[in-house]
Structure 1
Amino acid sequence: MDVGVIGGGWAGIAAAVEAVTLGHRVTLFEMAPRLGGRARALPDGVLDNGQHILIGAYRQTLSLMRCVGVEPEQVLQRLPLALVTPDGRGLRLPPGPPLATFGWAVLRRQGWSAGERLRLLATSLRWMALRFRCSPSWSVAQLCAGLPRRVRTDLIDPLCVAALNTPAERASAAVFLRVLRDALFGGQGAADLLLPRRPLSALLPDPAGHWLRRRGATLHVATRVQSLAREADAWHVQGQRFDALVLAASAAEAARLAQPLAPDWATRTAALRYEPIVTVYLESRGSRLALPMVQLHESASAPAQFLFDHGALSGMPGCFAAVISGAAPWTERGLPATGEAVRAQLQRDFPAGTWHEPPRVKRIVAERRATFACTPLLQRPPARIAPGLWAAGDYVEGPYPATLEGAVRAGVTAAQALDGAH
C-alpha cells in the first residue's frame, strides 16, 4: 500500500519503519526541520530539548533502534537503578532479578528506620498479590496513603513524577502500578537505567531517517500538513493519494486535522491536559558528581528532582542537566527565577567541595506540553480514527504514561493495523 505518516516524532518514526518493514511504500511528513519530535537534539546538535531516561523494560524502543542500525550498548549507559541523594543515601538495586534485588535494596536503604523499610516491603508484596492492579479512580497519593511519610517523600513521589510527569496527588495509581510491574517483573535488567551517551537525535531520529531513505521512503521535513481528505477508497494529503494514513502528529495537531473527519475523536483528543518539563543546563568547570544521575530533594524553594552529569555520560565535563518534572508551579514563576532556584539548590544540597566553581545557568529548555497529565479515569483517545486512518502517539489508549516506549509501541501498532483496516 501507499502509506502516509504525518508526524516525525518517535511514534511516527516507529510507524514508518514498521510500515516499510511490512512492504508498504511510505511517505512521511514532519512540520519541524528535523525528525525527533519532543525527543531530539537542539539546533546546536549538542544539547537536547530535555533530559530523557530509558529503562531496560523499553524493549520495543531498543528493538527499533537496532532495526535502524543503532546499537543501544554503544549510545546508552546501562546502570542498575540507583536513586541516591547528594549525601550518598538512597536506594541502590544491584544487578540481578529486579524483584529480588528491590527487596535487598530496601532492607539496606540508609536513612530509614526498620519499620519504614518493612512497611514498604509489606506494601509492595500486597501490590504484587493484587497483580499490580487497583481502582482506576485512585491517585498515587491514595494508593500510598498507608506508607510512612519519609518513604513517600524519598521514593514514591520522585518515582511517580519521573515516570508519569504528574505529581502523586493527581497521578493515576493504575498507570503507576503498571510501570512498577513491568520494571519489577520484566526480567533481569528491566529496571536498569539507560542514560543517553549521545544527543537524542543520534539515538533514533537521524539513523531512522537515513534507514528510511535507503529503503525508498520519502521524507518531507519542514512541511506542515494543512488538511486530510477522503475520496472514495483513498486518502489525499498535500496533493498525494494514499491507501492508508498514520496520524502521528502531536495531540493538538492531530485533533485539528481530524476535526472535520471524526469530531468526537478530535474533541476527546483536544480535551487532554498537559504537564510541563523544564531542563536547566548548568556549567561548573572541573566539577563532577559521584554518579551520572543524582536524586535531589524537591521543595517549595528547590524545583529539581534529578541532576545528570554530562561529563560522565556524554563527554562534556562540567556540564550538568537539572530536570524539573511536573513543572507547572515553576513555569508560572518564570524561567529566570526557576534557573536561579536550581542554581541555589545545587549549591545548598551538595557537600562542600563538590563544585570546583559555583554552578552557573547555561541554558533553560521548557517543554510546556511535554506530556499529557496522567490522571485517574483519564479517557485517552483510541488509536482508530476512521477506516484506514490510525493515530499513533504516547497519548492514545494504552497502558503506559507519555514515554518514548509508549510512543514507539503506538507507532508499531498503528502500522500493523493498516492492512486489516484498508
Structure 2
Amino acid sequence: MESASAWTTLSQHLKIAIVGAGWAGLAAAIQATQKGHHVTLLEASKFWGGRARSIQTNSENYPALDNGQHILIGAYQQTLSMMQIVGIDLEKAFWRKPLDLRYADGSGLSLPNKSFPINLLQGIVLNPCWRVVDKWQLMKTAWQWHAMNFECAEHLTVADLCQNMTPTVWQDLMEPLCVSALNTPAHEASGKVFLRIMKDALFGPAGSSDLLLPRLDLGELFPHAAIKWLEKNKVSCQSGQRIDSIVDLGNNPNEAKRWQLGDDKFDHVVIATPAWDAAHLLEIFNSAWSTTANQLKHETIATVYVQGPLDFKLPQPVLALRTAQGSPAQFAFDRGQIYTEARTPGLLAFVVSANKLSKEDVTQQVMEQWRALLSQLGQNGLHIEAFKVIQTVVEKRATFACTPNLKRPRATPCQGITVCGDYIEGPYPATLEGAVISGIQAVP
C-alpha cells in the first residue's frame, strides 16, 4: 500500500478539504483547483458566501437583499481577478465611478476621473466647501504619510495620525472614511492598517480609489458563479456539512500528514470558517493559536433597508451622512440607481458601521435621521410616512475590531493545516480583498 508521503511526492496533487465556503474558502477552492489538487468544499450552512451573501427578505413579494451593503474599490485586484476566473463580466457587474464621499450639502471629498496624483490634488484644491487651511493641512498630512512610506508605529490610532488636520476635514472625511474601511471608530482604530488602505487606494495606480458599486446582489456577484465554476471543474461542493472535529492520522513523523474529516481522508485541510469555529477545530493541535483567535474582539454592522416612492432617487448613488447622537448611519445607498438588475427603484440602504445599538433602536434612529435629511435634500413635499422599513440586518460579528497592537492568528497553525479568512494575520482590515488574498495564500 502506498504511503501518504510517497503519494504526495510522486503526484504533487493533494487531496484537499476546504472547510467553509465564504469568500476566503471559495477563493481557496478555486486556487486549489487551478493548481490541480483534488478539492472537496464543505459548508456548514445551506448558503454559499459566508457573511457576504444575498438573503431572502421578510416579504415574500420582495427580491433578495444583501446580508450587509458591500462595495469594492479598484484596488481590490485579487477579488476582481477571482470574479473574472469564474466568468463574471466586471463591466456588467459593477458601476465604476471615481471616489465620491459627498454629503447632502455638497461637502466632503469627490475625486475627478484622473490618475494619481492629479485626481487627489484636484479633489482637495477644488473642494468648494473647505477653507484654505483645511486643504493645506490635509495635503501636508497626506504627503507626510507618503514620505513615511505609509508606515507608522504599531500603537498609533487613526486619530493620532490625523491630529494635525482641521476639525472640518476630520469630521467630513477622515472619521467616516476610517469607520467605513476598518469598521472601527477612529480613536480606537489601527493607524498602521489605515495607512495601508490609504496607500493602496488613494495613492495607488490609476483607478485604485474608484468605487465599484455592485449591480448584482452579493450571491450573484461571486458565490453562485464560483460554485458553478467549481462544480464544472469536478469539485465536490457540499452544503449542510458541519465539521466538528479533525482527526490526525499521521502516526509516523517521517510521513506527510493525513487528516480525517467525517468519513473522508485528506492530505491537507484549509479551514475557512469564522475565527471562533477555527479556534474550536484547532484547539487540540495548537491551543495557543486558538487562544489568539478567541481573543479577537468583533464589531457589528447594521443595514436598514427602506423602500421609498418608486420615482425617488438620491442626488448620488452613495451619499455620506453626518453622524451624531441619535443619527448613527454613515452612508446611504440608492439601490434603485445601483442595482439595475434587481429592478428595485426607490430602495435605500442605510449603513451603520461599528454599531452599538439594538435592532429596534438602530432602525428607529436611522428613520429619524432620514426624516431630518429629507428637508436638506429639498424634498419638503415628501413625508417620512412615504418610506417604509423593509428589513434591518444586524451582523453582530461582522468584522474583527481593527485596533492598534492587535495580534491576529497566523495562517499556519500546524503542519498540514492552513487557515484563511479576513481575520488572519495580514496588512488589511476585515475586507473582501483580505479574505480572498488569504484564501489564495492558504493553498499549498
Q: TM-score range by the shorter chain?
A: over 0.9
Tell me by how many angstroms 1:84 deviates: 0.8
Tell me by how many angstroms 1:130 deviates: 0.8
Of 390, 396, 412, the residue aligned with 2:424 is: 396
1:163 equivalent in alignment to 2:181? yes
Structure 1 segment 213-292 matched on structure 2, within 5 A = 213-232=231-250, 233-285=257-309, 286-292=311-317
Tell me by how many angstroms 1:88 deviates: 2.3
Q: Which runs of 5+ in 2 are unaligned?
A: 1-13, 58-62, 251-256
Letter in 2 for 1:110: P
Instruction: Report the secondary structure of 1:212's partner residue.
Output: helix
Mark the structure with the bigger radius of gyration: 2
Cα gap change, 1:355 to 1:165, in 2 (>3 Å): farther
CA distance in 2, matches of 1:360, 1:336: 14
| Percent identical | 41
Query: Does structure 2 retain, via aligned residues, the 8 Å contact 1:274–1:370?
Result: yes
Deviations 1:381-401 (A, max 9, x none): 000011110000000010000
CA distance in 1, matches of 2:259, 2:116: 47
CA distance in 2, matches of 1:372, 1:219: 28
Of 333, 338, 341, the residue aligned with 1:313 is: 338
Query: Does structure 2 retain, via aligned residues, the 8 Å contact 1:284–1:355?
Result: no
Instruction: Report the secondary structure of 1:384's partner residue.
Output: coil
Instruction: Report the secondary structure of 2:394's partner residue.
Output: strand
TM-score by length of 2: 0.91
Deviations 1:181-214 (A, max 9, x none): 0013321100000011111000110000010011
Tell me by how many angstroms 1:357 deviates: 4.8
Query: Does structure 1 retain, via aligned residues, the 8 Å contact 2:107–2:172?
Result: no
Query: Does structure 2 retain, via aligned residues, the 8 Å contact 1:170–1:376?
Result: yes
Letter in 2 for 1:250: P
CA distance in 1, matches of 2:326, 2:212: 29
CA distance in 1, matches of 2:118, 2:286: 48
CA distance in 2, matches of 1:92, 1:250: 35
Tell me by how many angstroms 1:261 deviates: 1.2
**Match in the other structure for 1:325:** 353
CA distance in 2, matches of 1:249, 1:28: 12
Instruction: Report the secondary structure of 1:386's partner residue.
Output: coil
Corresponding residue pairs, total: 412
Which one is further off, 155-164 or 98-107? 98-107
Deviations 1:223-246 (A, max 9, x none): 110101111230110110000010
Query: Does structure 1 retain, via aligned residues, the 8 Å contact 2:98–2:111?
Result: yes
**Match in the other structure for 1:187:** 205
CA distance in 2, matches of 1:262, 1:355: 62
1:351 equivalent in alignment to 2:371? no
Letter in 2 for 1:413: Q
Query: Does structure 1 retain, via aligned residues, the 8 Å contact 2:299–2:401?
Result: yes
CA distance in 2, matches of 1:84, 1:391: 39
**Match in the other structure for 2:3:** none
**Match in the other structure for 1:414:** 442
Query: Does structure 2 retain, via aligned residues, the 8 Å contact 1:287–1:356?
Result: no
**Match in the other structure for 1:92:** 110
**Match in the other structure for 1:43:** 56
Instruction: Report the secondary structure of 1:338's partner residue.
Output: helix
**Match in the other structure for 2:8:** none
CA distance in 2, matches of 1:43, 1:229: 36
CA distance in 2, matches of 1:316, 1:43: 14
Tell me by how many angstroms 1:73 deviates: 1.4
Superposed CA RMSD in Å reads 1.1
Q: Which runs of 5+ in 1 are unaligned?
A: none
